Amino acid sequence: MNSGPRPLAYSYVRFSSVKQELGDSLNRQVEAAEEYCREHNLRLDTKSYRDLGVSAFKRHNIEKGALSRFIEAVNTGKIATGSYLIIEQFDRLSRADAHVALRLLMGLVDSGIKVVTLFDRKVWDTEAIKDATNLMLAVVYMSRANNESAAKADRLAKVWKRKKDRAADGTAARIVTSECPRWLRANESKTGFDVVDEIAASIKRVFDLRINGFGIVAIVSRANSERWPAPGKPSVRKAGESPEDFARRKTESSTWHTSLVGRLLKNRALIGEYQPRCIDPNDDTKRVPYGEPIKHYYPSVLDEPTFLRAQATADRRGRFPGRRDATGRNWLYGLAQCSCGHSLVRKNKNSQKQPGYARYYCTARVRGASECPGVNSQELEHAVLYVCSHYLPQFIGAAPVDELRAQADILEGQVLATKKVMGNYVDAIGKATTPITTSTLVRQLEAEEAKLGKHEAALAGVRARLADRAGIDHEAVLANIARMALAPDNPDQTVLLREELARTLEKIEVDERRGYIRVYVKGWDVPTIHPLRQDLSGFGWEQPSMELQREIERERIAAVADDASSKP
């Protein structure tokens, strides 16, 4: 009996599907490795290498799985020469092309590793691969494994394609897959989906807050503090996981995160669309869109105008500089700017003699780059409220909406025309007879694809703004402006006020030295000009001087004339 140290052996277990894990594949491979070690006086290392649910056909186990870690340990000397690697058969090691699998085997053997295949009890070492018969046998095994996987992948791809095509043309009797957005569940007959009402209610609240001006961080904070049900995959206890660890992980998975809210706000599945996807032919770790989105595939949780209004809110927020006042009092955030062109920020003075006193300052002055005077917050805010209450109704009409609709029509035509051109290029590529012609056509097709992306992005933006404009109840906005402005201790109201103004106003220019403001309404080139000074005690307006009235009137007439001359 050999009294020397027993050679060290490592077990490598791999399978590619969850069904195999639920079956006996794992236990079978582990027990066979243990039995072989007992029979051959090998010491099985407690650290086994397992790739559970990892594909060997796509080389994931070689590139980023446990097998890649084993190879790295061999190359760095952490696993000693003469050690054994025990596998069930070659298809556990690799199902890639035969030359890839053979190179893998040769690399391990050249590094001094003895590879054992349990199905035939054969040891593959430097002596074994010197035999041409053994080498040919290995290639046969590897080719068969690759061919089986390639045929299976092809069959599955065709099955999925038929399912998606039937869903697209409306002939499918059953759903494509039970895997669906987390606010839905596949019904028992697999013919459709049911809405999870409590999660759908949470999503509607997310969109409601977003449309009313709340940022993603604020929405997440509200959702977690009020414990809204979160959309997520139900947690399953892992093997060996303690009840305490599982309970903690389950709690963490049910919380809201900024990434979750960000994805929801862009997910068109909420309005019933299903975008089929397939494996990217250039990168099998990615899935890319396949065909056009299928409308009305899922039950709608939101209507499309609500979804688009949230996109418009995101667009507005992206244009606002700086950080919102933490108290929520700065409801002119992102709208008010100094006559020099820089933004205005609100600074609370916290004076005991004048509680609630604040001033707006030019950001250039804050940085020491200008000497623009500050503006009394009450003067500015009351002036804006007066303009909104008295002048906005005459500017709000159908013209901006009609203009947006015209833009949408033009962009829709450009999208259709570009798709037609792309179809012609695809047909031409199929008929091309020379590599040079094909290469030229492919480049032209890629250019049209880029153009299509720009047209579709612009169209989405116009549709979002159109939905946002159509969703404004102007009478309600004007009636509630004063009420919301007089709620300084209610941040929700001031955020809503700021969002309502942002839907209607482009900007507010403040000229403190000359004593007036210019209010620009979206869709109109001519601003409303109004005095800044006011009688704060009575909430009434002082009569501006005759000189100021004449100056304001001259500017208004000049603006109207400029606007008229710029139109054909």
Integer Rg of the chain from CA: 34
DSSP strand pairing (122-124 vs 184-186): unpaired
| Burial of residue 89, with CB atoms counted within 10 A of its CB: 0-12 exposed, 13-18 middle, 19 or more buried | middle
Q: Could you identify the residue written with the tokens 């992948």?
A: 153
**Calpha distance 298→460 (Å, rounded):** 21
CA 128 vs. chain centroid, Å, equals 53
- What is the model's pLDDT at position 305? 83
Q: Would you mind telling me the total number of residues written for the chain in this entry?
A: 568
The answer to whether 228 and 255 have CB atoms below 8 angstroms apart is no
Question: What confidence tens digit (pLDDT) does each residue in 330-368 have?
Answer: 778 888 999 999 999 888 776 666 666 889 999 999 888
CA distances from 261 to 222, 239, 252, 306, 465 (A): 12, 31, 15, 15, 21
- What is the model's pLDDT at position 352? 65
Tell me the three-class secondary structure of 498-531, residue by residue.
HHHHHHHEEEEEEECCCCEEEEEECCCCCCEEEE
- What is the model's pLDDT at position 333? 80
Selection from 496, 463, 411 nearest residue 271 by Cα = 463
The answer to whether 88 and 32 have CB atoms below 8 angstroms apart is yes
Question: What confidence tens digit (pLDDT) does each residue in 228-252 have?
Answer: 999 977 666 665 667 777 677 666 6
CA 160 vs. chain centroid, Å, equals 25
Q: 279: which strand partners?
A: 287
The segments of the chain whose pLDDT lies below 70 read: 1-4, 16-25, 234-241, 246, 249-253, 281-285, 315-328, 350-356, 389-403, 405-406, 409, 468-491, 523, 525, 534-568
Number of neighbouring beta carbons within 10 Å of residue 493: 19
**Calpha distance 175→166 (Å, rounded):** 10
Please, what are the domains in the chain? Answer: 8-149 (3.40.50.1390), 184-237+254-302 (no CATH), 316-568 (no CATH)
Strand positions, DSSP E, 39-79: 43-44, 49-52
Single-letter amino acid, residue 466:
L
**Calpha distance 149→19 (Å, rounded):** 17
- What is the model's pLDDT at position 505? 81
| pTM for this predicted structure | 0.59
DSSP label at residue 338: E
The answer to whether 309 and 211 have CB atoms below 8 angstroms apart is yes
DSSP label at residue 64: T
**Calpha distance 379→373 (Å, rounded):** 14
- What is the model's pLDDT at position 323? 46
- What is the model's pLDDT at position 83? 93
> Which two structure tokens, joined as six digits, stand for 140?
């046969």
